[in-house]
Amino acid sequence: MGVINNTHVKSLPGLIGDAHITSSFRQRVEDLSLKGGSLFVANLIVKELPEYVDAPERYEGINYPSGMALHCTTEALLGQMKDVHTDRMHPTDIDNYIAWYIVHGNHDNTRIRSTEGGHVVTVNLQVPAPEDHRDGPEAVNDAKHEIAENIRKVLHHYAPNMTEDKYIATVINTPYDSEQRNAGFVGGNWMGMRQSEDEWWARKPLPELARYRTPVANLYLCHQTSYPGGLCLNAVPYNLMHILKEDYPEIESTTPEWWYPSPWHITDADGGANSPVGASSIGSGYRVTGPSEHSINLA
């Protein structure tokens, strides 16, 4: 509810006071923009669920993960960042299409179904906020069908069963659409703020706060403006548990039995976001696919 109630990371300086933070840190928080969002959403209504090429080997005996980041390589990430932040353009090269594919009904195919009897696959792609796009705030809207076509090509590359005849409909929601529609949200953006270059990915909302710690001892930022942000409501506290275990060893004896650490979590000692190594991890709680040698030049 924070994004609706106007409480978010920018409330932090007022909550903890000037005695606990430097003037430069306060300014960095105040400079975060709440205007507009930067997430292109395509809801794919399909006749059958994706069957990923490597899924039988990787996920034998278990369910597919509900969220998949397809073509998630360092090269693609840097290419997408260049498109969005340096060139201020939505990605046009399909090799730069890192997209989250979320299958809502993956573990229960009766959970979300279309009126035509199909399934819903929601895809998120990073694009510039409307006010940042070099071709104007409606540029992504003008290119939305081309973007959706590229999204389907990426999905087909990793899930060959997803041919054009498997699609019932594609419902698109651009950042500009969200800004116009969601008048009750801060900037019309459920992520709480736009994503800028210095708080991209695991560095949200700022590198200094990327591991949920704040300048005040025992105070942690656990919110939709924190990594991974948005509507990943359970991912934020799930990730925070890893940090609490690092800070308070006694938590080990009180951790609920249902909680288990992610094998992808990178501790501070191993090179976490705030470690001396300075590495920016992809965070915890997610499965990614797309080996670096796996080219996807389908244009």
CA 150 to each of CA 96, 154, 254: distance values in angstroms, whole numbers, following the listed order: 10, 6, 47
DSSP type of residue 112: S
DSSP type of residue 71: T
The radius of gyration of the chain from alpha carbons, rounded to an integer in Å, stands at: 20
Cα–Cα dist 227/268, whole Å: 16
Which residues, 6 or more positions from 299, have their beta carbon under 8 angstroms from its beta carbon? 93, 94
Cα–Cα dist 11/28, whole Å: 13
Residue with tokens 């390589």: 73
In which region does residue 71 sit, left (phi positive, over 0), alpha (psi from -120 to 50) or beta (all else)?
left
Please, is 284 exposed, middle or buried when counting C-beta atoms within 10 Å of its C-beta (0-12, 13-18, 19+)? buried
pTM (whole model) above 0.75: no
Alpha helices in the chain (DSSP H): 2-5, 12-16, 23-31, 55-58, 74-81, 139-142, 144-158, 175-181, 235-247
Residue 39, beta-bridge partner list: 126
Q: Is the dihedral of CA 275, 277, 282, 286 positive or negative?
A: negative
pLDDT for res 252? 78
Cα–Cα dist 48/167, whole Å: 9
- What phi, psi does 218 have (nearest 5°)? 75, 5
Longest Cα separation, the chain: 61
For 160, the token pair is: 């060959």
Q: What's CA 36's distance to the chain center, in Å?
A: 16
pLDDT for res 66? 78
Cα–Cα dist 15/101, whole Å: 36
Local confidence pLDDT in tens for the 299 residues of the chain: 455 555 678 888 888 888 888 899 899 888 888 777 788 999 998 888 888 887 767 776 566 677 788 888 889 989 998 999 899 999 999 999 998 888 876 666 665 655 566 788 899 999 998 888 999 999 999 999 999 999 999 999 999 999 999 999 999 999 898 888 877 776 667 777 777 777 777 788 888 888 999 888 888 888 777 888 766 668 888 899 999 988 988 887 888 888 888 888 888 888 765 543 333 333 333 333 333 333 333 33
Neighbours of 121 (CB within 10 A): 26
pLDDT for res 162? 94
